[in-house]
């Protein structure tokens, strides 16, 4: 079984989504079930409703799950297994206070050595501290595991000291709940961010303590860097999946990009469903991938081109297929849904009012020509069959009736038809615009 295990403590970021996509693809390739596990053990940081947000986003990206689990529902099982480890002498109660441990950390820092917990400290404060944690005994020998991306990963014996598995409040730690639930639900392949590499030996040690011998594959994904080459953080807008969606990037384009970066793919533009046929986790580069918003813009345009015109029109809030065709012409200069919507919506703005709001541009010097041409076109609306009129016929007739030529004709004409001074060729636009001229030219 494959799993995606987000915590409901904040918005989903692109690294999370990338892991979800890869796990989903692998589950489909292997014909195995896909588990969505909400890791809500950090009760103080859980945000109400974030679990629903996670599910909504996954669904939006075409990721479905076979099983849904809330980790907190397994608390009794976690405690039962912790008690078992104590009974086997593999775990023990530790009465050290936070203040005691902090003093030991400062001492190690002062002596310029790595802090390591000593099992001999466990009972030192038993008489004064009645609320212990439970710790699993650390490894007395070197540990290693094979990573499908990184290869062999090794840890010295002193790197994995005895660690907490049940906190003072009785709630399991992340590592313990994660390892136990992977065991309970028969997870056999774990794909997650490389920030979890240091957690892996602890989780392996938990499995060994519980006599769980099932072979689990691991793949730790390199971090995503921002455009400056630094680790992405919440300060980087593009780290938020919701921000990308709000900006008007299509889910299919975002998924395409997250599969593409740091990967060797047979083509640049594809859907997640298409990637299932060729995706290979071993081809992911070991080095961090840098987020390139311009590349995402390119992919977004390509996925807009793949949409049929009716679907594109619907995304823009219109019902007419012609609007979808019109929008595709604007892909020459727009790459997000927001940019396209600005272009299309402006076509239907009242141009007289729009011109009054302009602060700069050549069109301001052509107000008289604008008004002359506007009145001319309104009159022509009554006499011409616009839906069967070519652009050349329209242009010739409008020039004759307005007595305008050159820039004095074309600048106001473009502004009247589109609300912009520049844009795609009017000859191409007119094929679609002629269907809406009464709405476009209204006063």
Three-class secondary structure of residue 40 per DSSP: coil
Task: Look up residue 64 and give its two tokens.
Answer: 């479905």
Handedness of CA 67, 68, 70, 73 (dihedral sign): negative
User: From CA 408, how far away is CA 416, in angstroms rounded?
Assistant: 13
Do residues 191 and 2 make contact, with C-beta atoms less than 8 angstroms apart?
A: yes
* 136 φ/ψ angles, rounded to the nearest 5 degrees: -90, 135
Say how far apart CA 91 and CA 86 lie, in whole Å. 5
Q: Please, are residues 225 and 291 in contact by the beta-carbon 8 Å criterion?
A: yes
The answer to whether the beta carbons of residues 281 and 24 sit under 8 Å apart is no
Which letter does DSSP use for residue 163 in this model?
E
Ligand-binding site membership of 305 (annotated): no
Query: In the chain, how many H helices and how many E strands?
Result: 19, 12
Q: List, in order, residues 6 or more apart from 139 with CB less than 8 Å away.
A: 155, 157, 160, 201, 205
Binding residues: 234
Binding residues for ATP: 234
């Amino acid at each position: 079984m494959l799993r995606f295990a987000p915590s409901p403590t904040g918005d989903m970021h692109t690294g999370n989504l990338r892991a979800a996509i890869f796990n989903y693809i692998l589950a489909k390739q292997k014909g195995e079930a896909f588990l969505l596990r909400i890791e809500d053990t950090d009760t103080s940081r859980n945000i109400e409703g974030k679990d629903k947000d996670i599910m909504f986003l996954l669904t939006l990206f075409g990721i479905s799950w076979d099983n849904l689990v809330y980790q907190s529902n397994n608390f009794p099982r976690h405690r039962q297994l912790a008690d078992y480890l104590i009974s086997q002498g593999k775990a023990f109660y530790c009465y050290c206070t936070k203040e005691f441990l902090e003093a030991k950390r400062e001492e190690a820092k002062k002596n310029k050595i790595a802090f390591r917990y000593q099992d001999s400290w466990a009972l030192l404060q038993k008489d004064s501290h009645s609320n212990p944690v439970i710790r699993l005994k650390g490894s007395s020998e070197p540990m290693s595991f094979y990573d499908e991306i990184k290869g062999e990963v090794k840890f010295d014996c002193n790197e994995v000291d005895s660690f907490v598995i049940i906190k003072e409040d009785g709630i399991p730690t992340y590592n313990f709940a994660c390892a136990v639930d992977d065991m309970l639900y028969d997870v056999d392949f774990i794909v997650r961010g490389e920030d979890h590499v240091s957690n892996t030996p602890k989780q392996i040690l938990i499995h060994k303590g519980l006599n769980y011998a099932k072979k689990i594959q691991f793949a730790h994904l390199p971090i995503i860097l921002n455009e400056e080459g630094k680790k992405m953080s919440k300060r980087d807008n593009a780290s938020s999946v919701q921000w990308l969606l709000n900006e008007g990037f299509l889910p299919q384009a975002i998924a395409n990009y997250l599969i593409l970066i740091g990967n060797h793919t047979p083509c640049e533009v594809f859907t997640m469903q298409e990637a299932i046929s060729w995706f290979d986790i071993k081809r992911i580069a070991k080095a961090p991938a840098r987020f390139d918003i311009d590349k995402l813009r390119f992919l977004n345009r390509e996925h807009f081109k793949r949409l049929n015109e009716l679907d594109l029109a619907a995304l823009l809030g219109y019902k007419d297929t012609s609007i979808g065709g019109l929008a595709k012409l604007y892909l020459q200069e727009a790459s997000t849904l927001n940019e396209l919507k600005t272009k299309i919506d402006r076509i239907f703005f009242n141009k007289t009012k729009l011109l009054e709001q302009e602060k700069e541009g050549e069109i301001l010097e052509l107000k008289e020509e604008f008004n002359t041409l506007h009145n001319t076109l309104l009159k022509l609306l009554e006499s011409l069959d616009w839906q069967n009129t070519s652009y050349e016929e329209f242009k010739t007739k409008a020039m004759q009736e307005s007595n305008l030529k050159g820039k004095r004709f074309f600048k106001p004409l473009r502004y009247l038809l589109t609300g912009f001074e520049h844009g795609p060729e009017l000859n191409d636009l007119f094929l679609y615009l002629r269907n809406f001229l009464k709405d476009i030219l209204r006063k």
